[in-house]
């Protein structure tokens, strides 16, 4: 029996021979160098590395926000090279939830409206239903009762919880977190990481980028990037 037949399911993501170049003056900057990466369903994968190593560029490719110059990208058994731009953005809205260092909440909207936004994009017209779902996810991240607050009235940690609720409402296959604790103090960072770890325990696949070695303990696997290549891997039994 082959490995593939033995596995219970196919990987969520497979990247093979990925290269990314950015134009720089007369030349090119080779940012991702022949990368291979497989992300299994249910993993909490952490991509670590110093600033400039190519982490965000890789995340942008995984999140269909950018594309590689060559190589193969398979997401949930779909070959990205065969998808139209519309199909990619549909896939992004439906199957990927994003969390960023700077939260990116819309300040003029209240907490519930921020969480409802992905459902609006998905075409869920019934406001009462949207509000109900937003309420459920806000409760999950410990923000019950904050639905009507403005984003500006919340602390950084609370804003990141709103962003997590917003990332979850469409029940994505993958949560992508780019330095989600980068703007938070260490205690608040632990709170946010505990929420992500709990989501992962419940089966959610998470890919997170960080430069903070203290975050390794939350991952089921850590890969290290340097100058556009992976150096080594650590696998954790607690996963
Ligand atoms: P990291 O997230 O690890 O800090 P990045 O992926 O942001 O690294 O950047 C890797 C390298 O690519 C850096 O040298 C950066 O300056 C360069 N880079 C990133 N985005 C662009 C772009 N849009 N145009 C040109 N160079 C870029």
- Predicted confidence at residue 2, as pLDDT, reads 41
Pocket flag, ligand 1, residue 210 (CB < 6 Å): no
Residue 73: CB partners within 8 Å, gap ≥ 6? 13, 14, 15, 16, 18, 61, 62, 67, 79, 80, 81
In a domain, 93, yes or no: yes
Q: How confident is the model at residue 3 (pLDDT cuts 50, 70, 90)?
A: very low
Number of residues in the chain: 239
Contact 134, 112 (CB under 8 A): yes
Residue 228 alpha carbon to ligand 1 centre in Å: 10
Pocket flag, ligand 1, residue 118 (CB < 6 Å): no
Across-strand partners of 206? Answer: 44, 175
Number of domains in the chain: 1
In a domain, 156, yes or no: yes
CA dist 30 and 19 (Å) reads: 8
CA dist 193 and 52 (Å) reads: 24
Atom of ligand 1 nearest to the CA of 225: 3
> Per mean pLDDT, which range of 8-12, 43-47, 105-109 is the poorest?
8-12
CB count within 10 Å of CB 160 equals 28
Residue 25 alpha carbon to ligand 1 centre in Å: 15
The terminus-to-terminus CA distance of the chain in angstroms comes to: 26
Under DSSP, the state recorded for 51 is T
Residue 77 alpha carbon to ligand 1 centre in Å: 28
Q: Inform me whether the pLDDT recorded for 5 exceeds 50.
A: no
In a domain, 231, yes or no: yes
Nearest CA to ligand 1 atom 13: 52
In a domain, 161, yes or no: yes
Residue 31 alpha carbon to ligand 1 centre in Å: 7
CB count within 10 Å of CB 124 equals 15
- Predicted confidence at residue 6, as pLDDT, reads 42
Q: Inform me whether the pLDDT recorded for 239 exceeds 60.
A: no
Phi, psi (deg, nearest 5) at residue 208:
-130, 140
Residue 66 alpha carbon to ligand 1 centre in Å: 12
Residue 179 alpha carbon to ligand 1 centre in Å: 15
ipTM of the complex: 0.98
Percent over 90 (pLDDT), the chain:
88
| pTM attached to this predicted model | 0.91
* pLDDT tens digits for range 151-208: 889 999 999 999 999 999 999 999 999 999 999 999 999 999 999 999 999 999 999 9
Atom of ligand 1 nearest to the CA of 58: 6
Provide the mean pLDDT of the chain. Answer: 92
In a domain, 4, yes or no: no
Parent domain of 158:
11-235
In a domain, 224, yes or no: yes
* CATH code at position 53: 3.40.50.300
- Predicted confidence at residue 9, as pLDDT, reads 78
* pLDDT tens digits for range 229-238: 999 776 665 5
CB count within 10 Å of CB 174 equals 23
Nearest CA to ligand 1 atom 24: 22
* pLDDT tens digits for range 25-41: 999 999 999 999 999 99
CB count within 10 Å of CB 173 equals 17
Kind of pairing between the strands at 13-24 and 27-39: antiparallel
Testing ligand 1's pocket by substitution, the residue of 30, 32, 53, 57 carrying the most ligand atoms inside 8 A of its CB is: 57
Testing ligand 1's pocket by substitution, the residue of 24, 31, 53, 224 carrying the most ligand atoms inside 8 A of its CB is: 31
In a domain, 1, yes or no: no
In a domain, 63, yes or no: yes
- Predicted confidence at residue 173, as pLDDT, reads 95
- Predicted confidence at residue 237, as pLDDT, reads 52
Nearest CA to ligand 1 atom 16: 52
* pLDDT tens digits for range 111-136: 999 999 999 988 899 999 999 999 99
């Amino acid at each position: 029996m082959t490995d593939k037949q033995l596995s219970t399911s196919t990987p969520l993501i497979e990247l093979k021979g990925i290269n990314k170049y950015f134009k720089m003056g007369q030349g090119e900057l080779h940012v991702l160098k022949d990368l291979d990466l497989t992300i299994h369903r249910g993993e909490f994968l952490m991509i670590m590395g110093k600033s400039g190593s190519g982490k965000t560029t890789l995340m942008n490719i995984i999140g269909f926000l950018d594309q590689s110059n060559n190589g193969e990208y398979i997401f949930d058994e779909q070959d990205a090279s065969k998808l139209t731009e519309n199909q990619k953005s549909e896939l992004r809205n439906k199957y990927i939830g994003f969390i960023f260092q700077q939260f990116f909440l819309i300040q003029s909207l209240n907490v519930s409206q921020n969480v409802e936004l992905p459902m609006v994009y998905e075409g869920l017209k019934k406001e009462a239903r949207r509000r109900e779902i937003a309420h459920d996810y806000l409760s999950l991240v410990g923000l019950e009762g904050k639905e009507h607050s403005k984003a500006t009235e919340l602390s950084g940690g609370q804003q990141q919880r709103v962003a997590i609720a917003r990332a979850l409402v469409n029940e994505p296959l993958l949560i992508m977190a780019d330095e989600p604790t980068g703007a938070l103090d260490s205690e608040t960072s632990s709170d946010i990481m505990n929420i992500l770890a709990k989501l992962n325990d419940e089966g959610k696949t998470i890919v997170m980028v960080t430069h903070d070695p203290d975050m390794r303990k939350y991952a089921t696997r850590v890969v290290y990037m340097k100058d556009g290549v992976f150096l080594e891997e650590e696998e954790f039994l607690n996963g």
